[in-house]
Amino acid sequence: MTSTDVEHASAVAAHIAERLATPEQARYWAGDSWWPQSLAHGALGVGLLHIERARTGEGPWERAQTWLECAVAEGVDASPAAHLYYGAPALAFVLERAHQVRPSSGPDHERLQTAVTHLVRDRVGEAEHARAARGLPVLAEFDTIRGLSGLGALLLDGSGSTPLVRRVLSYLVSVTEPADVDGVQVPGWWAPVGPASTEDPAFAGGHANTGIAHGICGPLILLSRALVRGIEVPGQVEAIDRILAWLDRWEQTGAEGTWWPYWVTLEHLRGESLRGPQRPSWCYGAAGVAYAQSVAASALGDEDRSRAADQVLTRVLTRLPQEQEIVDHSLCHGQAGLAILARASGHSAPPPLFPELAHAAPEVAAEKLLATSGIGLLEGAAGTGLALHTLSRSSSVGWAGFLLLEDEEHDRAA
């Protein structure tokens, strides 16, 4: 980024933060989409934006405190419906960042951690029982956003090697064991429904999901990162190898580069052609899959795979957004996600960064983002603002742990 780009990015981030200074102001932009306990869409996500700005001295701590109070005003959900992006685990994730700025902030830490531990224990028990009963998992049992990959990452970063972390890892190992559907051998993470977790005629017989957000690359990152930190359960290396072999099987290479399908169906296994390449985003696309393979390569000491993943990332991150169907600015599937993934993997941010925003006055760009995408962290203006703030300050992407992204220095130190 040039000095002009840095200044503009910083100004846009500041204007977003100003317009989201209080929950009362944000309600104008949120409309009916008001989710106080949501990290992805609500108060916890906006709170994270203000925490990170307070960390670098760019914003007052009081704004972060106000948003944290908003998030817990009606209690904290620690029911089985909670996950990394909602309820007690989401609050635990955000408070961990808050405590690095203000150690005394937030509700009782020990009580919250106990609630999260009980929740994860219940969730992994339910997942183990369901797998024994029906054989195949559903996405929400193992994925990053709703499932045990995200919850396991939270525990791994917070407490390291504990019996519960190892139990989560063992469950994810079991998810990689081959299964059979209609006489066809499928990977163990084969979901019997469509990507929306509902019956879908387009996915008769189910599918194998590839992405970080809802697919097998979430477990791949967690299993690999645990291995790097010296935490290993029986079959863990073999599970990583099985996932990598599947990704190798479905890797596609053409004039537009290397890519992987978002998902594979029974029809694909029976010979139907894949359509692509598809958008190379964090959530599903080539950038996310290559990043996951890079983490796995580091865990296994596989230099050839590491170089190959780096080549894919380099190609994705140096192509223009319009060439790759990158049509928004979000962390989930847009330019912000690619930019933070680039930082986490040691690459330069993809040029040009947010080109249409660069031609608008910062206050206009901020209002456009809020008006078109809402206040959210994962798909909205809070996430884009946080990415712009981080890039303009060359600061840590430690806050991106909910995306399973980490600074390279973090991995080496671990």
Binding residues for Zn(2+): 283, 332-333
Question: CA dist 199 to 76, 146, 296, 372, Å?
Answer: 31, 18, 32, 31
CA distance 123 to 179: 22
Nearest to 187 by CA among 123, 250, 255: 250
Quick one: tokens of 110?
């020990």
Partner residues linked to 181 by β-bridges: 184
Indicate the residue type of 292: A
Q: Comparing C-alpha atoms, which of 34, 124, 114, 43 is closest to residue 80?
A: 124
CA–CA separation, 70 and 67 (whole Å): 5
Q: Where are the beta strands (DSSP E) in 164-289?
A: 179-181, 184-186, 207-209, 252-254, 257-259, 263-265
Encoding tokens for residue 95?
């408070």
Buried b / exposed e along 90-108 (16+ C-beta atoms within 10 A):
bbbbbbbbbeebeeebbee
Q: Which element (helix H / strand E) includes 112?
A: helix 109-134
Dihedral in degrees, nearest 10, Cα atoms 254, 258, 263, 264: 50
Distance set, CA 362 to CA 10, 15, 56, 330, 391 (Å): 9, 7, 20, 17, 16
